[in-house]
């Protein structure tokens, strides 16, 4: 279904060239409640009080992509909002680490332990969802429930389930080299992200965040995603998992709700407790395109997670 997106846009689900419209006043005020905690691979902004929830953005997204989400939940939950180095204007590590996402995974797990967070709920969007799955597969006891927003355990196998990490390396290496060269224009960025978000203003912001990201970091992150297969590893995850998926943005490329659901079902086959829910109208940025549905799903999931943690 995504056969025409992969070569042209490196599979839209990974291209979280995420921008954010102006933050609500409440979210702007909340962002000043705590100074960011610095780590080589990311910073964390802690906002609100209550049971901990870690929010991980996607490729090129700053943590500000969760502004509306934080504004909604900060009075009930302690939100740990992650911004990855090199994305959306955040200073990059120089040079970009060879095992970038593995470093992020390990540092986030270390952060959870250092902050003594008791099984925090993790909400991850696309690349952030992939990281959440990787963290939970690596240390199942460290995390609480997971909400995975439009993400998969192994992107390279979307077209061909027989694809392995090894057979994906040549394509991924070529992609990394091309992305690291940069040279994207605003017009090209806008065209790239058009399938991902509907609102014109947000689309412009998405493109701006892409232009503000470090090309070498983006290229390495994409390489890591394309060459890391978590389909078997997720069998180690024991906590509840909610997967929110989109398909409407890919209609022009032949996607249907049924074909998209089949891909998600196949990719999460080793995680039988995962519950997959599909938005009827939202594109990749579900929290932007279908906010009522997104928040209804997230409200119920967080409430359930809170009851289970008592």
CATH number for the domain that contains residue 280: 3.40.50.1820
What is the Cα gyration radius of the chain? 18
DSSP character string of 258-282 = HHHHHHHHHHTTT-TTEEEEE-SS-
Q: Within a 10 A sphere around the Cβ of 113, how many other Cβ atoms? A: 11
What is the Cα–Cα distance from 131 to 123, expressed in whole angstroms?
Answer: 10
> What total number of domains does the chain contain?
1
The number of residues making up the chain comes to 310
The closest alpha carbon to 283, from 236, 310, 243, 245, belongs to 245
Low-confidence residues of the chain, pLDDT below 50?
1-36
The closest alpha carbon to 10, from 161, 141, 176, belongs to 176
Q: How far is CA 211 from CA 140, 184, 190, 223, 272, in A?
A: 36, 7, 10, 19, 39
- pLDDT number for residue 305: 84
* Two structure tokens written together for 284: 């990749």
Could you tell me which residues are beta bridge partners of residue 52? 78
- pLDDT number for residue 13: 39
DSSP character string of the chain = --TTHHHHHS-GGG------PPPPHHHHHHTTSSPPEE-SSEEEEEESSSEEEEEE--TT--GGGGHHHHHHHTTTEEEEEEEETTSTTPPPPSSPPTTHHHHHHHHHHHHHHHTT--S-EEEEETHHHHHHHHHHHH-GGG---EEEES--S-GGGSS-TT--HHHHHHHHHHHHHHHHT----HHHHHHHHGGG---HHHHHHHHHHHHTS-HHHHHHHHHHHHT---TTGGGG--S-EEEEE--GGGGGGT--HHHHHHHHHHHTTT-TTEEEEE-SS--S-HHHHSHHHHHHHHHHHHHHHHHHH-
- Four-CA torsion 195, 21, 222, 252, nearest 10 degrees: 0
- pLDDT number for residue 247: 92
- pLDDT number for residue 309: 65
- Domain that residue 221 falls in: 5-309
Q: What is the largest CA-CA distance in the chain?
A: 51
Q: Within a 10 A sphere around the Cβ of 275, how many other Cβ atoms? A: 13
* Two structure tokens written together for 238: 């024991």
- pLDDT number for residue 79: 98
Confirm if 209 and 16 have CB atoms less than 8 A apart. no
Q: Within a 10 A sphere around the Cβ of 131, how many other Cβ atoms? A: 27
- pLDDT number for residue 37: 53
- pLDDT number for residue 38: 59
- Four-CA torsion 141, 31, 26, 16, nearest 10 degrees: -70
């Amino acid at each position: 279904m995504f056969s025409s997106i992969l070569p042209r846009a490196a599979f839209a689900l990974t291209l979280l060239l995420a921008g954010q419209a102006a933050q609500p006043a409440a979210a702007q005020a909340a962002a000043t409640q705590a100074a960011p905690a610095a780590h080589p691979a990311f910073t964390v902004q802690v906002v609100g009080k209550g049971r901990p929830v870690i929010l991980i953005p996607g490729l090129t997204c700053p943590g500000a992509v969760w502004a509306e989400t934080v504004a909604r939940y900060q009075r009930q939950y302690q939100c740990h909002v992650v911004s990855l180095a090199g994305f959306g204007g955040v200073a990059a590590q120089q040079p970009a680490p060879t095992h970038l996402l593995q470093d992020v995974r390990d540092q986030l797990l270390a952060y959870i332990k250092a902050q003594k967070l008791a099984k925090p709920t993790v909400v991850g969007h696309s690349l952030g969802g992939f990281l959440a799955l990787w963290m939970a597969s690596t240390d199942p006891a460290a995390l609480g429930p997971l909400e995975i927003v439009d993400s998969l355990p192994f992107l390279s196998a979307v077209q061909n389930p027989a694809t392995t990490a090894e057979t994906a390396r040549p394509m991924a290496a070529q992609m990394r080299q091309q992305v690291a060269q940069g040279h994207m224009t605003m017009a090209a960025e806008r065209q790239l992200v058009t399938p991902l978000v509907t609102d014109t203003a947000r689309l412009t912001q998405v493109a701006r965040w892409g232009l503000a990201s470090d090309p070498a970091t983006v290229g390495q992150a994409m390489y890591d995603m394309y060459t890391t297969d978590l389909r078997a590893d997720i069998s180690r995850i024991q906590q509840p998992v909610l997967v929110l998926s989109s398909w409407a943005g890919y209609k022009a490329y032949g996607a249907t709700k049924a074909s998209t659901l089949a891909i998600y079902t196949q990719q999460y086959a080793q995680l039988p407790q995962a519950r997959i829910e599909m938005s009827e109208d939202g594109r990749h940025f579900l929290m932007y395109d279908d906010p009522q549905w997104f928040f209804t799903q997230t409200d119920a999931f967080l409430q359930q997670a809170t009851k289970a943690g008592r």
